[in-house]
Amino acid sequence: MSTLPPDPQAEIARLRRRATVWTWVAVAGVVLTAWSWLGRPSPSIPSTKSTSSTPGRLSWPPASYVKDVVCLPEGYGVYTYFTLAAADGTPTASDGVAIVTYGDTRFDYSGDQYYEILRRDTFPVRSSAFETATLGLGAMAHQGLIYRVGRVSLDELKGLRQSSTLGKVSVRFIPEPGCTLYAATTVSWPD
């Protein structure tokens, strides 16, 4: 015989905390697997000085934060890219692991907003995969370094409701163990 807990809201909060802990345990396992895909135990940040042993190699200052996460509607899906910046704000590139999460805006029984995770991708990133691109329009146009995550069809976002209009896309970038850079943006799902 099933009985309801004395405080359903407390039970919901407890289950959410428990799910969050297990999600981070799973993410940690995927990150460690991604480090092994890179072929070394931990990534090294490129030197800011060029070396004679690697002529022509671009060297970048270490990434201090995720400057932008951009998610644009493209057909029946969204196209995502992100940029990194050094401590002084200059664009930079870095080896590491990226965790891109797509979430849908939901409301709980009390009317508080939260995000239901629809998809989470974890993958290794190489500094050589960053591309120079013109960002902005007109007088605001400038050169930047972007990492193209790519396009995700709305059909690939499991649990996206037809009535959904807004969501959130977040990027956690891990340039080295123990260092996590984070940024997120609100996205308007295409009709």
pLDDT digits (tens, 9 = 90+) for 131-157: 999 888 888 888 889 999 999 998 898
What CATH number is given to the structural domain containing 75? 2.60.40
Per-state percent for the chain, helix, strand, coil, to nearest 5 = 20, 45, 35
pTM of the model: 0.67
Q: How many domains does the chain have?
A: 1
Mean local confidence (pLDDT), 74-79: 90
The HSE-up count of residue 73 (CA atoms within 13 Å, CB side) is 10
- The predicted structure's pLDDT at residue 84: 95
Residue of higher predicted confidence among 82 and 162: 82
- The predicted structure's pLDDT at residue 59: 65
Q: What angle is formed at CA 4 by the lines to CA 159 and CA 24, rounded to 5 degrees?
A: 45
> In this structure, is residue 52 part of a structural domain?
no
Provide the domain limits for residue 68.
Answer: 61-188
Residue 47 Cα distances to 35, 121, 189, angstroms = 19, 28, 40
Mean local confidence (pLDDT), 6-35: 54
> In this structure, is residue 170 part of a structural domain?
yes
Give 106's pLDDT tier (boundaries 50, 70, 90).
confident
pLDDT of 58 strictly over 60:
no
> In this structure, is residue 37 part of a structural domain?
no
- What rounded mean pLDDT belongs to the chain? 77
- The predicted structure's pLDDT at residue 55: 40
> In this structure, is residue 135 part of a structural domain?
yes
